[in-house]
Structure 1
């Protein structure tokens, strides 16, 4: 027959994220590429373009400072996302769509600045708005990952997510800089707006859980699993956060994350100053090696970073990574006679950042596993805020340390914070923590009442 009764044709919906492992990995990787694109453009490509066109360091610094403000407000955004949602479309998916759609519209608006070089105020304002939606998408995607990913897939997913973001940053910096140089600012921003527009199809077409609405006007209903963990009051959110964060394992994780980030912030600040001022490198030499190290570490993290953690365990791999980082720092400090050997220093930087990336993947996966799902966004963001505080504190320590010590001893100071992390991580017991979280669910059944 040439004609078929259309009433008999039934379209089968795509599997939801909770049902399909491949779609989970693919979705989170794609969404992290979407995060890397604005980060690469806002933080690297545009500042370089401004510098190339004669803008002063003060002007560029002001632009970067304004773009960075939304990242310091993550701890405010997170409870809002835990408190409010449209459950019939999923617990986190509406916020992911909000962030992704906001990125598209704000990017397109940013492209319409007629003369950005002579309209820095508009560039800062729209850069702030783009950054706000990037942060919103980042928080929502992390929350979805914690809610949807089984524990045994979190490490591998974090490896894919970290690597995908690195590729997004690298691609947007390389391609964005080239397009701006050859065709202009407008075409660079619009080009990446189109890429982000394609990526929005991922959260647009894939449900979190089966039976949920694809769009507000389509059929579907809230998942029972999502309804069970959704909080409906501010009191419930902050009471839950207090109780879970001050469980022993969770609190130790906060201390470990702060100490690790303190050391990382110190090294991140030491290396560019050390290589330029002590070793006589050009600033472009360090930038190129740093970019190469990040690209290599991102790709390796995507391929094997998560696999190693899944196979050997989070605590064991963090312990191995931290031990190797300590050995590398010792070698760099004690082998001063090799500092004029560019191959030695370059090898140190690349190996150090590969290990840092692998450690970051393991820490993120550990933090996810420790989160209480009813406040997963707020708790995970609190860990990240503690880490960011450590990064800032470590960076600020460079000046006082350099006033007191020579470079070899400044580098050696990293070991103090790495050892604290190495010791603290040995007290992380995921099974014991999960049992205590389950006890909280039993002891405080009223905590979810609005």
Structure 2
């Protein structure tokens, strides 16, 4: 399911950008295509309908999941039939359908994972989901761009649509979650009650701030790593081989290790440990900035940063899943995961200004220090989180 979620993401960004560039579409138009990703941010608007209604005979979760995946396959095929140089508007429409069905699939899989796993299993389950997600992204972006030297882009999109059958087969074979809580009976109950239920909890606002701040330093640092590597004199080949290839393996290992540790330590203690390790790994970039060009240094820093980042993400995702009420799983998780994207999309935006103003060493030191507010908030949430 993680693989099925990750596969479509970059087919409407990096792969589509490469196709449009090859077809001679101007850069302004290509830049505007970032807007087709809006369904991923706005998915909490239609999540209540997925909590309220059942679609088909497969159950509340698998019914929606099957139809989302079928819609996604058809949208990918349709995108492959468009002509970027002739009608960018048709490309945008098809790409928007892909992101919409992909966002629906994400909502349902997030809800499914929460409902099928016990609280004790959420850590490892989330880690496996994250790894599958990254593998899907790697196949779509890396695999898609490599195949572009041998196949046309329409053929690549048809191939990716065929690979999405993995998700359909998984949906048909998977069991439907058994929930012993009444589902929403009206649209109002599905839309309003999830928010009322959440904000009536103790420390509800503090939890939202924690979600915002826990990975803020990591997000800001990650946003500026490529310019940092280039500024230190690394070639794009070295960056690709070490940062993307070697780093991907470290992230996968980190997610798995984090999931296993969460089985032993619980989510609360894992958030503490992984949060501290994330901050320490960011200091590694400051050390590398002081030392200068070193392939071994780059490999060590990236391995540690990706390892701890994978661990932190697994705990972060498991924590958000644990917060949801199983009556409103889809709506509440969609809201929290949309909030999770704010540090990456908005708060990290001034990272370039800070890097230019402070210099690389001070910038990465600053990114490590701003992890402290998230950890302090975690301390205040101790009574709530000790249960997980």
Instruction: Pick from 149, 152, 162 the counterpart of residue 194 of structure 1.
Output: 162
Worse-superposed segment, 227-236 or 162-171: 227-236
Is there any run of 5+ residues in structure 1 with no aligned partner, and where?
1-30, 210-222, 436-450
Deviation at 1:124, TM superposition (A): 2.0
CA distance in 1 between partners of 2:190 and 2:89 (Å): 41
Corresponding position: 1:238 with 2:192? yes
Change (3 A) 1:83 1:424: same
TM-score w.r.t. the length of structure 2 is 0.90
Instruction: Report the counterpart of residue 370 of structure 2 in structure 1.
Output: 417
Change (3 A) 1:233 1:128: closer
Instruction: Report the counterpart of residue 98 of structure 2 in structure 1.
Output: 130
CA distance in 2 between partners of 1:181 and 1:408 (Å): 39
Secondary structure of residue in 1 paired with 2:346: helix
Instruction: Report the counterpart of residue 166 of structure 1 in structure 2.
Output: 134
CA distance in 2 between partners of 1:188 and 1:337 (Å): 43
Change (3 A) 1:416 1:303: closer
Instruction: Report the counterpart of residue 90 of structure 1 in structure 2.
Output: 59
Larger Rg: 1
Q: When the two structures are aligned, how many residues end up with a matched partner?
A: 388
Instruction: Pick from 358, 362, 383 the counterpart of residue 315 of structure 2.
Output: 362
Corresponding position: 1:248 with 2:217? no
Residue-by-residue CA offset, 1:182-216 (whole Å, 9 max, x unaligned):
1211221111211212430221344405xxxxxxx
Is contact 1:160–1:301 with CA below 8 Å preserved after alignment?
no
Instruction: Report the counterpart of residue 31 of structure 2 in structure 1.
Output: 61
Corresponding position: 1:280 with 2:249? no
TM-score w.r.t. the length of structure 1 is 0.78
CA distance in 1 between partners of 2:306 and 2:279 (Å): 13
CA distance in 1 between partners of 2:254 and 2:168 (Å): 25
What does residue range 368-407 of structure 1 map to in structure 2 within 5 Å? Answer: 368-402=321-355, 404-407=357-360
CA distance in 2 between partners of 1:285 and 1:79 (Å): 46
CA distance in 2 between partners of 1:201 and 1:330 (Å): 44
Change (3 A) 1:357 1:147: same
Instruction: Pick from 207, 214, 218 the counterpart of residue 260 of structure 1.
Output: 214
Q: RMSD between aligned alpha carbons?
A: 2.7
Deviation at 1:431, TM superposition (A): 5.8
CA distance in 1 between partners of 2:185 and 2:268 (Å): 31
Deviation at 1:96, TM superposition (A): 0.9
Instruction: Pick from 138, 148, 171 the counterpart of residue 203 of structure 1.
Output: 171
What does residue range 296-335 of structure 1 map to in structure 2 within 5 Å? Answer: 296-301=249-254, 303-334=256-287
Corresponding position: 1:103 with 2:72? yes
CA distance in 2 between partners of 1:394 and 1:95 (Å): 33
Worse-superposed segment, 421-430 or 317-326: 421-430
Worse-superposed segment, 414-423 or 295-304: 295-304
